[in-house]
Structure 1
Amino acid sequence: MSTTRVHNPSVSILTDFKEITKMRLAISVVFSSVAGYFLGAETVDFVVVLLLAVGGYFMVGASNAFNQIIERDLDALMDRTKNRPLPAGRMSVNSAFAIASLFTILGLIVLYIINPKTAMFGAISIFIYVSVYTPLKTKTPLSVFVGAIPGAIPFMLGWVAATDDFSIEPGTLFMIQFFWQFPHFWAIGWWLYDDYKKGGFFMLPTGKRNKGTAVQVILYTVWTILVSLIPVFGVTGRLYLTPVSGVIILLLGLGMLYYAFKLYQEKTAEAAKKLMFASVSYITLLQIVYVSDKFIREWI
């Protein structure tokens, strides 16, 4: 008895849509934005939370779609990206451009409804990511520095959405996520070095998987930990962290630093992969600790 396989085009269309907008990445960015909102809000407005989540998703999805349009020929050269909708030929450039443009417009409108400053920072983020970071990726390792700017905006964006103000508090949130991105992306660049090389991408600070890169990973991990602890000292306005939470953040940071030293010792793709996962765990748990600390203090 033979069976007939039924092709469901809607499944592949949905999959391609998720891929062109990088849904998992977009959701992690929305998580950062919402965490920033909870930190900044004196009274939580869940309508604003919803608008921030939707607007943030639109903006990240637009950035990723534009990025994949620009890099479609290079994506075809790399194993991890060659099956994306554009290089695989499942989606036309016009369709991807339509999605990216629509997402940009909708994202800006939704963020503007929250307040104009939130929309402005959203616009700055997408502009730097698409127009500066993406072209620089094949030119210089400094692209990681440029890319860290839009990558650091979401955590800060949530505070701006809550307060309609940019001051030392969102500036601190920006710096935490800014410094964090160096060990995070260098770990990815080391782990996927051979694949990135096929596409001509320069992701590591020295251009090579060597001692120099590993040392910089350690240094920026240390900077990330130190910046994350600044709110404990009461110098960042309304953004405050109790000593107990500070110890938790320090322990999380030392865990990440452990994997940074392991990379220095082993200099292997496997060690870099472990550091990448450790860095994702660090920033996620940090945001949870920061928000939990605030609400526990308010309840007490």
Structure 2
Amino acid sequence: MSGEPLVTALDTPPGRCVTASTLLSDYWALTKPEVNFLILITTFAGFYLGCANAGRQFSFLALFNTLLGTLLVASGTATLNQYIERKFDAQMRRTARRPAAAGRLEPHAVLAFGIVLSAVGVFYLAVAAGVLASLLALLTLLSYLFLYTPLKRRTPLCVLVGAFPGAMPPLIGWAAASGRLPMEAWLLYAILFLWQFPHFMAIAWMYREDYDRAGYLMLPKGNARIAFVILQTLVPLFALVPISILQFWTGHATISNCTGLLLGLGFLYLGLEFVLQRSRVAARRLLAASIVYLPLLFALRITLH
């Protein structure tokens, strides 16, 4: 018999045989690596700028410890979220193939994996990056799982609630670098907080039928839906334009302010296009713009610091 040897996994449904690579792939998928990529970028930005702001020497070892601990907590949070929502995810086309929702991994195995990742990550941050960074990560995990997650089936305001823990990564990085959170750190927090609304409105509109099918109230019902999407998209985008400039007031004003303004206006333009057209194509364009905008803005902030 050619190919990889088959193993019977203890954490898969009885009678199922899977390859070792498939099993590892499923556990890897539980951590949501595509989301973690952006989390690590924003954590890095907070750490780098926190070092510079505090006048401390940049340490690659400290950065590694911060990113690793944050990655573990973020991965654990994503895993536990999929454990909690596995039955609802199974009703949505975009999430039905996730390991927990599809039943490829037993619920107890997903739960244990998520708890271990989270606990190790929080402890690792406390030891290697500082108590403040660890507490911020723990607060992020708890508020995401026990406030945002249950509210998704109760009120569209869950988007607002979820934006608070969602914007925490740069604060974790800054705290790990300097042990404090000055106004500059909260400015990064504000950018990420506002960024989440147009980013998620694009996703919510693209998959609104899926969310409705699973009973998620990510968007209001009836006529209020369009007004809600317009408000949640445009107000944060308009706020991001001045804030994108504000973060560069400390230096390199001409180049950085112009670039930050262009990024903010480009993001706003695609947001306006989305709310006017409310099409899947426009939503995809806004989603792509959000993924490009955030790393570019943070990279510009780091480069011109």
**Structure 1 and Structure 2 fold alike (TM over 0.5):** yes
**What pairs with 1:135-150 in structure 2 (closer than 5 Å)?**
135-150=150-165
Contact 1:38–1:159 (CA<8 Å) still a contact in 2? yes
**What pairs with 1:174-253 in structure 2 (closer than 5 Å)?**
174-204=189-219, 210-234=226-250, 242-253=253-264
Q: Are 1:21 and 2:21 matched, yes or no? A: no
Partner of 1:125: 140
Q: Are 1:111 and 2:125 matched, yes or no? A: yes
| CA spacing shift, 1:221–1:241, aligned 2, 3 Å | farther
Contact 1:206–1:213 (CA<8 Å) still a contact in 2? no
Contact 1:55–1:110 (CA<8 Å) still a contact in 2? yes
Mapped partners of 1:153, 1:25: distance in 2: 14
- One-letter code aligned to 1:37: F
- 1:74: Cα distance to partner? 0.3
Give the root-mean-square deviation of aligned CA atoms.
1.8
Partner of 1:282: 293
- One-letter code aligned to 2:60: F
Q: Which runs of 5+ in 2 are unaligned?
A: 7-18
| CA spacing shift, 1:242–1:225, aligned 2, 3 Å | same
Cα deviations across residues 34-62 of structure 1 (Å, max 9, x unaligned)?
11111111311111111111111111111
Contact 1:36–1:158 (CA<8 Å) still a contact in 2? yes
- 1:206: Cα distance to partner? 7.0
Aligned pair partner of 1:88 in 83, 86, 102: 102
| CA spacing shift, 1:216–1:287, aligned 2, 3 Å | same
| CA spacing shift, 1:222–1:35, aligned 2, 3 Å | same
Q: Are 1:170 and 2:185 matched, yes or no? A: yes
Contact 2:65–2:129 (CA<8 Å) still a contact in 1? yes
Mapped partners of 1:209, 1:14: distance in 2: 40
- 1:195: Cα distance to partner? 1.2
| CA spacing shift, 1:262–1:5, aligned 2, 3 Å | same
Q: Are 1:31 and 2:41 matched, yes or no? A: yes
- 1:24: Cα distance to partner? 1.8
- 1:214: Cα distance to partner? 2.2
| Range with greater deviation from structure 2 (101-110 or 128-137) | 101-110
Cα deviations across residues 40-97 of structure 1 (Å, max 9, x unaligned)?
1131111111111111111111111111111011001000111111121111111111
Q: Are 1:46 and 2:60 matched, yes or no? A: yes
Count matched residues: 287
Identity of aligned residues (%): 31
Mapped partners of 1:176, 1:197: distance in 2: 29
What TM-score, normalized by structure 1, do the two folds share? Answer: 0.90
Partner of 1:237: none
- One-letter code aligned to 2:172: L
What TM-score, normalized by structure 2, do the two folds share? Answer: 0.89
- 1:119: Cα distance to partner? 0.4
- One-letter code aligned to 1:163: S
Contact 1:263–1:275 (CA<8 Å) still a contact in 2? yes
Contact 2:219–2:228 (CA<8 Å) still a contact in 1? no
Q: Are 1:99 and 2:80 matched, yes or no? A: no
Mapped partners of 1:23, 1:125: distance in 2: 18
